[in-house]
Structure 1
């Protein structure tokens, strides 16, 4: 067992030059994608940080206007999913990703000048479209470069970088509020958006020069001709077809992959609602007996993504080590969702119990890396355009549901207990366990069929010796 663990962490690259290639890919792909996603989540989480740091009072928020802004963002994000991933077929990722970063950096800085919630709504809609391909586009790129045994760990590192943005955002807001609040006549929460936008630009410039595109289109100067050929040989050869055609649309909707993985992520996405809707921060803000300081409102919720980072990296590594058993995370999430909801709903439960439940619920973030790695694993034998559309549709479906789900079940005016949302969480957790079981059956059926097909092909290709 020890030797197997050591072999896994040393790497699974066996071809000459393969380890050096993977090390280059890790450096140039993961550094850019992780920094991009870190800044993406930093921006998203900082709206909630700004809200509890004075923006609510300065802009005269009423009722559930914060949730409405999040819904507007979700609508824009949903609209942009599939078009942005398809755009990667026609615009080089080295150009597309950095360009969208420059756009959202500008819109982030523009948020510092708003005077009412409606202004934020307008900005966040277009910002969401610019950010739409960050998550699904990166998972498509990772699936294009890395093998099945390498993918989970890289997906986990990428997802953890976004959670780090959520976690660090609270500390950044605390620092900005204490050092820049009132500087040049601007409130601390306004400086937060200015700083966010400025630090995004250098990463975009880095991407313009060094991102390698895909194995078949890369012109990266740090990859030799032999390394480019090796990169192409590491992934299955599949048909290349245009994603914009009626025949492709029919093939997409005729396969179970689209329905299976889209519904999987719709359900799983709603089990993340404890964390993605910043419920702990809203719980603290609306606490009936305890009044928290601005620093506490920003710092205490950082424990949720911290748990998410540990859980994401642990599960991504474990499922790689176990041969790609990504489905195990579905059952973990089901158990977690039921127990943590019950802890909050329990009569007489204390504030400490509620904090423990919200922190534990952060482990649900592990489903991001593992479920998208699962989709990449299963679809790596299908045409690339189908893989790109399914991955984008997963996030599109999840966000389309979350656009109204968060208002109904996790509106800010339902704080601090979110009773309606807790019951919805229990229902989603049960549904996820059931759906994961169905997905496991379908994927194993396909694996068996593909294995039989390969054996028949090998048998038919054998050369029969001539009789003398």
Structure 2
């Protein structure tokens, strides 16, 4: 790829602008004046060491707390599956259809608001927006433990979706404003692995909390909601101090470190976007971009499968364990025993999925082959759900849940990284002299006129992709019906279709289309797109500039 980059640089340097004797200026980030470089005069080795320490500082300050937030978020939205096997449906007198409706209503409010949340994140600042929504959904979760009927649970689930809508797209966008393209994937994978940990931890926690049955006159399933909701409120309150704003104003960084972060983002054709003004051009640029829709299709397959898997699995494990008990432990079989062990059986598949999610993020960052990674893990999921469909053995079914988790969880973070990498910025630095501009009045803030305009487009694109994917929860939360016990053929078949048609099929289609487009750009077929344009007009084209090489 470095050789191809050299070819593009040479071709661009020889191109003439229409009606001008001067070369077309593709490097719209070039400084008009000297840049205040905090590392000027240092050797390359010293600069590399400073950069390594800076990234380590960012990782320690940002990633652990954000992972905790998403662990809590995913735990709170899916613990209803654990509550079900501890008697939620029976105690509230709900039919199978009503229970599924409580799952569906969450995804309606959650998905409808997601495309808008990144705009709110920018307006209110991360250190304000994220803690507020966390406290809100913690209150909703606590209220779920106080309801007495179907209507109350429906209302609580609706507002839970409203409050939780901003976290995942917001953090996805937020991290992309801190890290370079080839650093983003592994961080996104670590962040999303918290969802798999939540599935594992949720089973253990639910098994323990369910033992509080009848304490304070509350059922065990009610205590699951109450205690987890109160914990969320506490963590949300702490987030006012633990969540930081964008790099331009992050208080844990010195002025020199802020400069370094912004310089390395500019070198990767990005900006932190803290002070970028929203324009409808960014919205329409996202809506008109074909990659928005192919990414949405892929994420549709990932998220549809994810919610089916995470919401139904406690019941599925109960079925698997029931079968194992019948075959091997019939003399100690009991309802409470089976319920608790079913919760515990959910732990290992999620733990394996968490490890693989991080591994795939690392591999995709190093190889720049996110599409191939998506295709490979999709095959794991396809085999796993084929085992669930085709076997009557509880042991084989349980093994299938491992492969199912391995096929779903890594693809979520990898797909988001893929979409982010291919929106606005670039993977490969074609212009090594790119430099950010700093204002005299505020030495660590970029001048607006010189910023790359596509960060808002990235935020809109991620909102659309994630919102459409999460809307699939309305479908997959209804495919595992109580009437289909014990084999759940319609549910397993639907998830298998999502994996084959959307997750795998969409990845193949997008990979081929991106590969062909890269070939056209490398041949110079797209150079005519910028004939006669000035630097600002070229800048506004974002990832549609002919020098932008897509991640495959």
TM-score normalized with structure 1 length: 0.86
Asked whether the equivalents of residues 277 and 410 of structure 1 are also in contact (C-alpha less than 8 Å), the reply is no
Classify 1:13/1:214 alpha carbon distance in 2 versus 1 (closer, same or farther; 3 Å). Answer: farther
Deviation at residue 434 of structure 1 after TM alignment: 2.8
* 2:315 equivalent among 281, 285, 306: 281
Aligned to 1:119: 152
Classify 1:119/1:280 alpha carbon distance in 2 versus 1 (closer, same or farther; 3 Å). Answer: same
Q: Distance in 2 between matches of 1:421 and 1:54?
A: 22
Aligned to 1:59: 92
Aligned to 1:177: 210
Classify 1:125/1:230 alpha carbon distance in 2 versus 1 (closer, same or farther; 3 Å). Answer: same
Q: Distance in 1 between matches of 2:492 and 2:137?
A: 33
1:362 aligns with 2:401: no
* 1:330 equivalent among 374, 382, 395: 374
CA displacement, residues 40-90 of structure 1 (integer Å, 9 cap, x when unaligned): 111122111111112222212212322211100010110120111121121
Classify 1:448/1:209 alpha carbon distance in 2 versus 1 (closer, same or farther; 3 Å). Answer: farther
1:317 aligns with 2:362: yes
1:335-354 counterparts in 2 under 5 A?
A: 335-346=379-390, 349-354=392-397
Aligned to 1:465: none
Classify 1:166/1:60 alpha carbon distance in 2 versus 1 (closer, same or farther; 3 Å). Answer: same
1:59-458 counterparts in 2 under 5 A?
A: 59-178=92-211, 180-216=212-248, 218-220=249-251, 222-235=252-265, 236-237=268-269, 242-243=277-278, 245=280, 247-282=281-316, 284=318, 293-322=338-367, 324-346=368-390, 349-363=392-406, 364-381=408-425, 383-407=454-478, 409-431=479-501, 432-448=503-519
Asked whether the equivalents of residues 343 and 349 of structure 1 are also in contact (C-alpha less than 8 Å), the reply is no
Q: Distance in 1 between matches of 2:209 and 2:49?
A: 50
Deviation at residue 293 of structure 1 after TM alignment: 2.2
Which runs of no fewer than 5 residues in structure 1 stay unpaired?
1-11, 458-468
Classify 1:114/1:285 alpha carbon distance in 2 versus 1 (closer, same or farther; 3 Å). Answer: farther
Deviation at residue 435 of structure 1 after TM alignment: 2.0
Asked whether the equivalents of residues 304 and 475 of structure 2 are also in contact (C-alpha less than 8 Å), the reply is no
- Residue 145 of structure 1 aligns to a residue in which SS? coil
Q: Distance in 1 between matches of 2:142 and 2:500?
A: 42
Deviation at residue 278 of structure 1 after TM alignment: 2.4
Q: Distance in 1 between matches of 2:504 and 2:224?
A: 40
Which runs of no fewer than 5 residues in structure 2 stay unpaired?
1-44, 327-334, 426-452, 531-552
Aligned to 1:466: none
Asked whether the equivalents of residues 73 and 124 of structure 1 are also in contact (C-alpha less than 8 Å), the reply is yes
Asked whether the equivalents of residues 140 and 387 of structure 1 are also in contact (C-alpha less than 8 Å), the reply is yes
Aligned to 2:535: none
- Residue 86 of structure 2 aligns to a residue in which SS? helix
Deviation at residue 288 of structure 1 after TM alignment: 8.0
Q: Distance in 1 between matches of 2:103 and 2:467?
A: 15
- Residue 204 of structure 1 aligns to a residue in which SS? helix
- Residue 177 of structure 2 aligns to a residue in which SS? helix
CA displacement, residues 246-270 of structure 1 (integer Å, 9 cap, x when unaligned): x443322221121121111112223
Asked whether the equivalents of residues 196 and 350 of structure 2 are also in contact (C-alpha less than 8 Å), the reply is yes
Asked whether the equivalents of residues 79 and 396 of structure 1 are also in contact (C-alpha less than 8 Å), the reply is yes
Classify 1:237/1:147 alpha carbon distance in 2 versus 1 (closer, same or farther; 3 Å). Answer: closer
Aligned to 2:432: none
Greater gyration radius: 2
- Tell me the matched-pair count: 441
Classify 1:285/1:56 alpha carbon distance in 2 versus 1 (closer, same or farther; 3 Å). Answer: farther
